[in-house]
Amino acid sequence: MLEAKVVCEQLGCGAAESAPHGARFGAAPGPFWRDNVKCKGNESSLVECQGNALGEHNCSPGEAASVICTDSIKIRLMDGIGSCSGRVEVYYNNTWGSVCDDSWDMFDAQVACKELGCGTPKSAPGNAHFGAATSFFWLDEVNCNGTESKLSQCQSNSIGEHNCSPGEAASVICSDLTKIRLMDGSDYCSGRVEVYYNNTWGSVCDDSWDMLDAQVACRELGCGTAKAAPGNANFGAATSSFWLDEVNCNGTEFKLSQCQSNSIGEHNCSPGEAASVVCSEYATVRLINGPNPCTGRVEIHYNETWGAVCDDDWDMLDAKVVCEQLGCGAAESAPHGAHFGAAPGPFWLDNVKCKGNESSLVECQGNALGEHNCSPGEAASVICSGKNVFVCTIFQHA
């Protein structure tokens, strides 16, 4: 129950009711990352608890751990454009239900967008803007003040109590602020923080920027924990506009867009006030099991572990980035099917889609780090032409 307590509190799901064993909610379909977890109960995240090293375990799929929390309410948006607009639906008692538009306003939309990691609200339509409710209503007369982190924390009628018709479904349209990157650092996990919004990358101001904000940025990027949160354009001045200012995270959020801040684009910052982060981990690349250092199975170092790259979508553009990153000349081929041996450990990358001009493999599009559906025989490989060699001929005159 101590471990379950930490999980429920980390997710904002209230207190822990039980901590079922034996794959209560289904066997684990993928790898186990944690085993022998021992929490004290006061940790803010499960990864802060003692236990085996990440990925080190002796468990079978039927040994998956579960939790049941007191507040099992979550939300989603339906029938909108993209994942950050649509009709608001709430999951409760194993069923999705709608939210009524009685009293629905921008404060309520603010909380819904924040909970979903979708930035700030652009509008809060009622009258079934994205289609009539297809089921009953779970929430009515929602009244948020805008500072809550979850819709279930706002005042409302009792769950399921309403007087609404299908045409009164509430909706939101959020700014879809969902991507961040680090620029001009020494590796993928350090640099100036930039946010993607309205088809443009913009900077984050260092006003109020601190280690709690940096912690969230590192977590969102899959870069471990924050080591430093430099301001004053530590990794170079902002080269574009500022999208975020006065960021104020509590450190438990999963995305920077879930933290409190000024409205998107509202700032009083100069280019020299760009915020940065230095995270604890970074990805490097190596080739193994080949005849030379420039040929072999591709592996990434992440979370203190070397892991493979899946061959789904693997092609010559991906191989080009690897060869150039390693200083191994041009790519000659991009073999599939574990050409240089099956992967003995985890897969860190899958569905990699490089354009060919990236400086590192982790800058290419693809699944989130560790997210894959690959077997050991699907490891990607590369064959590079070899390291650049410069020949100097010395002429000796008589």
Summarize pLDDT for 149-195 with one digit per residue, the tens. Answer: 788 878 888 778 899 999 999 999 887 655 788 888 877 788 999 98
DSSP state of 23: -
List residues bridging with 69 in a β-sheet. 16
* Residue 355 DSSP SS3: coil
List residues bridging with 184 in a β-sheet. 191
Residue 398 lies in a domain: no
Residue 327 lies in a domain: yes
* 387 pLDDT more than 70: no
Q: Which amino acid is at 161?
A: E
Residue 344 lies in a domain: yes
Least confident of 54-63, 147-156, 198-207, 298-307: 298-307
Residue 373 lies in a domain: yes
| Residue bearing the bigger pLDDT, 363 or 356 | 356
Summarize pLDDT for 159-171 with one digit per residue, the tens. Answer: 788 999 999 999 9
List residues bridging with 278 in a β-sheet. 190, 228
Q: Among 308, 290, 289, 306, which residue's Cα sits nearest to residue 298? A: 308
Q: What total number of domains does the chain contain?
A: 4
Q: Are residues 334 and 244 in the same domain?
A: no
Check if the beta carbon of residue 244 is closer than 8 Å to that of residue 204. yes
Check if the beta carbon of residue 389 is closer than 8 Å to that of residue 366. no
Report the C-alpha gap between 49 and 35 in whole angstroms. 11
Q: Among 178, 190, 189, which residue's Cα sits nearest to residue 264? A: 178
Identify the pLDDT of residue 390. Answer: 30
- Among candidate residues 150, 174, 198, the one where a domain is terminated: 174
Report the C-alpha gap between 84 and 117 in whole angstroms. 8
Number of residues that make up the chain: 398
Residue 235 lies in a domain: yes
- Among candidate residues 71, 91, 118, the one where a domain is terminated: 71
**CA 207, 203, 368: angle at the middle one, nearest 5?**
115
Q: CB-based contacts of 26: which residues, under 8 Å, 6+ apart?
A: 64
Q: Are residues 329 and 255 in the same domain?
A: no
Identify the pLDDT of residue 289. Answer: 87
**The two structure tokens encoding residue 86:** 């649509």
Report the C-alpha gap between 331 and 294 in whole angstroms. 10
Check if the beta carbon of residue 242 is closer than 8 Å to that of residue 155. no
Residue 208: CB atoms within 10 Å: 17
Q: Are residues 291 and 348 in the same domain?
A: yes
Q: Are residues 191 and 207 in the same domain?
A: yes
DSSP string of 247-290, one letter each residue: -B--S--SSGGGSB-SSTT-----GGGB-EEEES---EEEEESS
List residues bridging with 310 in a β-sheet. 379
DSSP state of 100: B
Q: Are residues 84 and 169 in the same domain?
A: yes
- Structure confidence at residue 388 as a pLDDT band (50, 70, 90): very low
Domain that includes residue 79, residue range: 74-174
CA-atom Rg of the chain in angstroms: 24
* 396 pLDDT more than 60: no
What percent helix, strand, coil does the chain show, rounded to 5? 15, 25, 55
Domain of 185, CATH number, reads: 3.10.250.10
List residues bridging with 174 in a β-sheet. 121
Q: Are residues 257 and 310 in the same domain?
A: no
* 367 pLDDT more than 60: yes
